Amino acid sequence: MSRPLALLGCRLLDPESGLDRVGGLLVRDGRIADLGPHLRAGELGPEVEEIDATGLCLAPGLVDMRVQLGEPGAEHKERIDSAVAAAAAGGITSLAALPDTSPPLDDPAMLEFVARRARKLKSVKVHPCACLTRGAEGRQLAEMGLLREAGAVAFTDGCRAVADARVMLRALSYATAFDALVIQHPEEPALAAGGAMHEGPVATRLGLPGIPACAEVIMIERDLRLVEATGARYHVAHLSTAAAVEVVRRAKARGLPVSAEVSPHHLLLTEAEVEGYRTYAKVSPPLRTEEDREALIEALAEGTIDVVASDHAPQDQESKRVPFAQAAFGVVGLETLLAACLQLWHDGRIDLLRLLAALTVRPASLLGIEGGRLAVGAPADLVLFDAGLRWTVTEAGLRSLSKNTAFEGREFRGRVVRTLVDGRTVFSLGDGAT
């Protein structure tokens, strides 16, 4: 077994218990053995490796529930090893991998392939999601029972919406048999077809085809009727509109088993980023208006939105450096997830523990995995960060294989200093960081 490790003098932050105080944390055999203000330097015995973390924050490692790995099928955009390295640099200790790869994760063998490749790296924990329908094509249900047994933490067709209401009804009904989480990309495909950015005055002025806000709302409202009929657990991925927030708020008030998620780029950016035809601002769903952005922040702060996920979607240069209408959707986000979210706290828009809950314990609970907690006996999956450290995002500094960040050149306050998985350091800021 590895030597016991103590992180001392740090600000302990546990969103589940509400813990927020200076103290230390002791790791033994990959799990949290003790924590609190009583742990002090020089008092733990010679066998314990002590790390002075004075002035730093220690929180549960982030749990990112929406990540495109690229592998298999698009290894030129991202490999599992490069994604895991980027995740570790971002303070992420567990991630849920989307299944719409090539070939897709729609059978147990493919699920095991991804899980096995990730285990060999002995770094960030990778939990595969499985396709909701065969080939993520939205026509026939995948073998959900077998996929659940093989370790699928959730079911989704990734970046494709399940447009057929009958198929979605059957999927939700079947999911209730084993309490599975169904994740939907909330976009009515016919309304979004051919669109490149948010439909509105900016798109009109730029001469770009738009994606209307109603495409998101219509899909969610339809699905909520099906949730009401089945009682299935339903998760709305990457909300982007104020209207959709209101629909989710009402559904929760009625007691429906609904959860929702938002991405950092939708919390910080608007359609104005597209000015100059910046393809790195082309995402799905598209960046919306300032009013939509404000509604998303308010919904996160009040708990209507449960989770913040990176929505990491790596794209190579050839996919982005083309005319805007032909460019691929998506941005990378693993390494900027925590820093981007901390901006909301620095701006006084959200409480720190509530923000961390959306990045740790809530996604872990929804996915049914260990993690997201500072508690004795919990896995020592931890992120140590400097909440005030200023740094600038650069393409050269990213560990992701693709460099399509929406935050190029942006200065953030707050940076990951160390990431630990099962008590092992998988990232340290001093190890080649830029």
- DSSP per-residue letters across 239-285: ---HHHHHHHHHHHHTT--EEEEE-HHHHH--GGGGTTT-GGG--SS
User: How wide is the angle at C-alpha 104 spanned by C-alphas 99 and 105, nearest 5°?
Assistant: 55
Alpha carbon distance 33, 19 (integer Å): 16
Quickly tell me which residue has 């449960």 as its tokens.
Answer: 306
- Nearest-CA neighbor of 287 among 305, 313, 306, 268? 268
Question: Which one of the listed residues 311, 351, 386, 431 is annotated catalytic?
Answer: 311
Distances (CA, A) of 337 to 11, 102, 329: 20, 26, 18
What residues contact 322, with CB distance under 8 A and at least 6 apart? 279
Scanning the structure block, which residue is given the tokens 């370790």? Answer: 151
CB-based contact 227:281 (threshold 8 Å) = no
Phi and psi at residue 107, in whole multiples of 5°? -145, 155
Say which DSSP state 133 is in: B
Residue of 229, 238, 237 whose CA lies nearest to 256? 229
How far apart are alpha carbons 276 and 324 in whole angstroms?
10
For residue 222, give the nearest of 178, 291, 161, 135 by alpha carbon: 161
311 catalytic per annotation: yes
Q: 378 is written with which tokens?
A: 């919990």
Q: Residue 79's closest CA among 111, 114, 130?
A: 114
How far is the C-alpha of 238 from the C-alpha of 376, rounded, in Å? Answer: 33
Q: Which residues are catalytic?
A: 311
